[in-house]
A and B are shown apart, each in its own frame.
Chain A
Amino acid sequence: MTRDWGLSGTATIGGALLFDSIQLTLAPGWTCLLGASGAGKSTVLRLLAGLPSGASFDGQINRPDRIGWMAQRDLLQPRLTVAQNVMLLGHLAGRRPDPARADALLAAVGLDGFAARRPDTLSGGQRQRVALARTLMEDAPLILLDEPFSALDPATRATMQDLAFTCLQGRRVLMVTHDPVEALRLGNRVQLLHNHRLTDVALPDLTPPRDPALPEMAQAAAALLAQLRGQ
């Protein structure tokens, strides 16, 4: 815990530069990594998670032993029950399953009594709740989120953002997103990956989760969108 988790270095993909000597340090709270498609934000996340990224990386990565991972797809296994899905990473790691904790986490994400259900009986939002419970089950100090809410409808997305923010309090979270409003809503820090570089985005002076209806939020979102479009 004495070390700062994060990534610093340069990555190329197929000989082309992806990002150039960036330094990303993950302080407590939410760091949102924003960028256009193909900017390399998913590569940053996969490198941090120790997953194959297809990029060649030259630099340093510091990560804790245990990581929480949530992807764009919920990755629920259709032939396992909801409870088995919540305990999936424990099963994969060969740890003894803890159904009582799985039930408690399901209740915490608002799915009390869903333990025996199959994923195909759930709605998109409910499925992403199960994925959140599965991530929480690991009790990891660092949580990596790869656009986890981008496939949800706007109302469900806002609910899930609030729920994730509440449930992941006290951990270091890195969320990759291409949605400026989402980044502004949740980020204690927002980093923009653009033109192979990382830049710190100035944030409205409010505590997250910030209300996107406030005028300063709309202004910040508009400014961020302009930056994303390279203006």
Chain B
Amino acid sequence: MSRIWGFLAVLALWQLAVSLHFLPIFVLPSPLGVLSALHNNAALLLTNGLITGAEVAAGLLLGLALGIASAIALLLLPALRPILQPVLTASQAVPVFVLAPVLTIWFGYGPAPKIAMTVLLVYFPVASGFLDGLLATPTADLDLALIAKAGRWRSFRWLRLPHALPHLAAALRIAVTYAPTGAVIGEWVGASQGLGYLMLMANARSRVDLMFAALLGIVALTLILQRATDHLLRRFGL
């Protein structure tokens, strides 16, 4: 419960700052103003939130599937590893957000570029983290596979996969916090719906309270995803 006091203190300071006219209302709306914007635009926020949420979910699932598949492919095709593994590692240092305008040119203004942006944000940490885990299986453990004359699949199933699952879980926990940001940036570049679009639209009309309301929606979406992922992973002991 003590965590709540921190939030309340920030909110109180915020409300105080606005009430004492430190900042004009069109720069910083009051918490109560944001609350009433949330209330008055609930349907609008929900519709657009669901659209962004769907983009995030699609991007997450696709990025996760592609990342897992790539890691397994690179494990089973050692010849490709020296070429592609450095790319995977280096890609983590690239701010993929800068690709958003390019993705819009390639995929148009529909949901595709937003999903693609999310996929990029999810794919690289998942592929790289999972592959690291698969390759980091101790050789002493892999000796057991040689003693049992196990093929690649069984040594993957019984030794490498269980060893790599915590690495995959850690990568997924990080990916999930980035995913909504990816979709929102995709929407900023060009969209006709979604929370990111709503933010830009509110901005153009100087509706700072609505902007903040949309922002809260994005934060809520991220927190829900984070909690759901954590809950799911914990159920599997990860």
> How close is A75's CB to chain B, nearest CB, in angstroms?
5
0/1 string, A48-91, CB within 8 A of B gives 1: 01111000000000000001010101010111100000001111
* Complexed CA–CA distance, A69 and B158 (Å): 17
- Of A73, A78, A88, A93, which contacts B149 at CB under 8 A? A93
B interface, over-half SS: helix
- Of A49, A51, A67, A77, which contacts B158 at CB under 8 A? A77
> How close is A197's CB to chain B, nearest CB, in angstroms?
27
> How close is A96's CB to chain B, nearest CB, in angstroms?
13
> How close is A142's CB to chain B, nearest CB, in angstroms?
11
- Of B145, B147, B157, B163, which contacts A49 at CB under 8 A? B147
- Of A50, A77, A93, A94, which contacts B159 at CB under 8 A? A77
- Interface range, B side: 20 to 34
* Complexed CA–CA distance, A9 and B25 (Å): 88
A interface, over-half SS: loop
Question: Contact: A69 with B147, CB < 8 Å?
Answer: yes
* Complexed CA–CA distance, A94 and B149 (Å): 9
Q: Is B150 an interface residue (CB 8 A)?
A: yes
Q: Is A92 an interface residue (CB 8 A)?
A: yes
Q: Which residue of A lies closest to B154 (CB)?
A: A92
Q: Which residues of B contact A73 (CB under 8 A)?
A: 140
Q: Which residue of A lies closest to B137 (CB)?
A: A77
Most buried by B among A51, A73, A80: A51
Q: Which residues of B contact A78 (CB under 8 A)?
A: 162
* Complexed CA–CA distance, A3 and B38 (Å): 84
Known A69-B143, A93-B148, A94-B150; contact A79-B162, beta-carbon cutoff 8 A: yes
> How close is B40's CB to chain A, nearest CB, in angstroms?
50
Q: Which residues of B contact A79 (CB under 8 A)?
A: 162-163, 165, 237
Q: Is B226 an interface residue (CB 8 A)?
A: no
Question: Contact: B141 with A89, CB < 8 Å?
Answer: no
Interface residues in B66-118 (C-beta closer than 8 Å to A)? none
Known A91-B154, A93-B149; contact A75-B165, beta-carbon cutoff 8 A: no
Query: Which 5 residue pairs spanning A and B have beta carbons closest together?
Result: A92-B148, A92-B150, A79-B162, A93-B148, A89-B148
5 pairs, A vs B, C-beta closer than 8 Å: A49-B143, A50-B147, A51-B147, A92-B148, A92-B154
